[in-house]
Chain A
Amino acid sequence: MIIAGAVPIKGMELIKGPVKLNKDTFEIKNKELPISMGTCALLGAAFKTLEYFGKEDELKFITAGDIGEGDGSLKIYEELHEINDDLTIIHYIKPKISEIIKVDFSKNVIGDAGGMYAGKAAGIGDKFHMFFPDVGELAFLADENSSHPAYVRGFISEIDDQEIPKLIKMAYTQKMPKNMVVKGSKDHIVNEGNIVDTVEYPKFEAMECIGGTGDTLTGITSSLIACGFKTEKAGILGCKLNRKLGELVKPSPDTQIYEIIQKMPEALKEFDL
């Protein structure tokens, strides 16, 4: 399984390879990266999940430094022109239509964050295996004229959580992946535009504040897929496990994501997978 995404370190060259996880940092090629929101939170959750199944050595990370200028993202896109793994997750990366269309989609590719934005903007959502939008991002997917969540027509962006099924239907009038998890107060697991299940409890409002809780959901679900779980089942389990993490941490709005990731082995054990 490959995770591809930028880290917020200006000028850091492209690095690829296996990783080692510490308490709140990662080591890759003698470089130490902090586990904070974004790509590193996804990586942390994926590593812990794969470790549970004894497959952490199969995880490869492709990253480069990017603080928004796009330099690191371009280097990552280049690496994605040829993919040699069954499953790749494209995460925090500068959305670039001209680059995302060059990605090798011959194997399964999951899009989250910038990877999802670029895929939708380019009109190639159906080439992806799965997306992970929140409600705001679902509005963006549902708006046929929008190429970034910052530009969504008002009548769509003002739709609230209660109208998620309506937004899902709207999104699926366009090119969307076969699978989707819409994360929120109630998570919706979607297959070919149909809601196959929802996960709502336990519910911790504070999780919405914590940077990285969406990233951990993607990390867990993707790793379960890489371990052989069917995508729908992995989506449902991912949502349940992410909420179990909340239950174990008892989060408040100032909880940090590495504290949540540390609870992964405990959560996985409770599910007896």
Chain B
Amino acid sequence: MSSIFNKLNTILNPKKEEKKGNGLILFKNVKEAISAERILKNYSVKVVAPPQEVREGCDLAVEYDLVEEMGIKRELEKNNLNAVKFISLDDASMEPLNLVKVKEIDGFTLVRSGNMKITIDKVGKIVNVSGGGCPDVPYLNLKLKGKNILKIPEEDTPKNLGYTLCAYTLNKAFEKAKTIALEGTK
């Protein structure tokens, strides 16, 4: 009995230090939150009570390791589970970076999103990927480099191959670079 009480106490009164670097996935209802915990069994997730100020109808949410956001989003999509919102517990008002900057260098186009950069040539060939710190970045670099951005199938885009926030950020730059390459062909 006391262990049930302890578990309930942990959910309702989580220790503050555990939140650092974590995020919260909000769902429409309790059933979806519980399904998500099952689907995401290979990730560091747990069902928690969301703070009052971020509640979206459901009184259970899934806490996760922020850095794993990309893989988690893909896993939920694969299982047709639509989250209402992803928020950072470091600061509930924080959302992933959306800022993308473009620079022309020696006839090539460098697209930068936060800590991630992708460079394409005039016909859209990816010549370099750089930045980041998560281990899927060197993997994405090997997978993408040398390919034409317009011919990369959806399943081989950073959002479908990557797992981490660096992959998420790279995907922002990738999408912008693809738009630029597409405009160049018109």
- Residues of A at the B interface (CB closer than 8 Å) are 6-8, 34, 36-40, 66-70, 72-73, 92-97, 112-117, 121-123, 134, 136-137, 140, 145-154, 157-158, 205-206, 208-214, 252-254, 256
**Ranked 3 nearest A-B pairs via Cβ:** A68-B136, A68-B163, A113-B133
Since A149-B166, A253-B105 are in contact, a sample of 5 more A-B pairs with Cβ atoms closer than 8 Å, ordered by chain A residue number, is A6-B138, A68-B134, A94-B134, A95-B134, A150-B168
A68 interface neighbour in B106, B112, B164, Cβ under 8 Å? B164
Q: Is the CB of A253 within 8 A of B110?
A: yes
| Contacts A151-B90, A209-B127, A209-B128 given; does A92 touch B165 at CB 8 Å | no
B121 within 8 A of A: yes
- Which of A37, A112, A212: most chain B CB closer than 10 A? A37
Most buried by A among B67, B106, B117: B67
B106 with A67: CB separation less than 8 A: no
Bound CA–CA A134/B129 (angstroms): 15
Q: Are B110 and A68 in contact (CB under 8 A)?
A: no
Stretch of B7-15, B51-59, B92-100 contacting A (4+ beta carbons < 8 Å): B92-100
What separation, in Å, do the CA atoms of A115 and B139 have in the docked complex? 17
B residues with a Cβ closer than 8 A to A are: 20-21, 65-71, 88, 90-91, 94-97, 99, 103, 105-106, 108, 110, 112, 114-115, 117, 119, 121, 127-139, 141-142, 145, 162-169
| Contact A151 B110, CB 8 Å, known A68-B135, A146-B90 | no
In the complex, what residues of A have CB within 8 A of residue B68's CB? 70
* A146 contacts B133, C-beta separation under 8 Å: no
**Given A92-B137, A113-B132, A254-B108 in contact, is the A208-B20 Cβ separation under 8 Å?**
no
Cβ-defined partner of A36 (8 Å) among B94, B96, B141: B141
| A145 CB contacts on chain B under 8 angstroms | 90-91, 94
> What is the chain B residue whose CB lies nearest that of A255?
B128
Closest to A139 in B: B114
Q: For residue A68, which residue of chain B has the nearest CB? A: B136
With beta carbons under 8 angstroms apart, the residue of B20, B134, B164, B167 that contacts A123 is B20
For residue B68, which residue of chain A has the nearest CB?
A70
Instruction: Report A-chain residues with C-beta under 8 Å of the C-beta of B70.
Output: 68
Across the interface, which residues of A come within 8 angstroms of B130, CB to CB? 37, 208-214
CB atoms of B137 and A38 under 8 A apart:
yes
Q: Which residue of B lies closest to A38 (CB)?
A: B138
A253 to chain B, nearest CB (A): 4
A121 → chain B closest CB, angstroms: 5
Q: Decide if B129 touches A211 in the complex (CB within 8 Å).
A: yes
- Chain A residue nearest in CB terms to B127: A254
Taking a contact as CB atoms under 8 Å apart, the answer to whether B21 and A147 are in contact is yes
Which residue in B91, B95, B119, B135 is a CB contact (below 8 Å) of A209?
Answer: B119
A-B contact pairs, 8 of them (CB 8 A): A67-B136, A94-B164, A95-B67, A113-B132, A121-B21, A209-B117, A211-B129, A252-B106
- Give the complex CA separation of A95 and B163 in angstroms: 12
- The contact of B133 among A40, A116, A147, by CB within 8 Å, is A116
Shortest distance from the beta carbon of A122 to any chain B beta carbon, whole Å: 7
* Nearest CB on B from A154, distance (A): 7
Residues on B with beta carbons closer than 8 Å to the beta carbon of A254? 108, 119, 121, 127-128
Task: Using CB atoms, name the residue of chain B closest to A115.
Answer: B133
Task: Indicate if the CB atoms of B119 and A68 lie closer than 8 Å.
Answer: no
Indicate if the CB atoms of B128 and A211 lie closer than 8 Å.
yes
A158 touches B99 (CB 8 A): yes
Give the distance to chain A from B43, nearest Cβ to Cβ, in Å.
9
Which of B65, B105, B138, B165 interacts with A150 by CB under 8 Å? B165
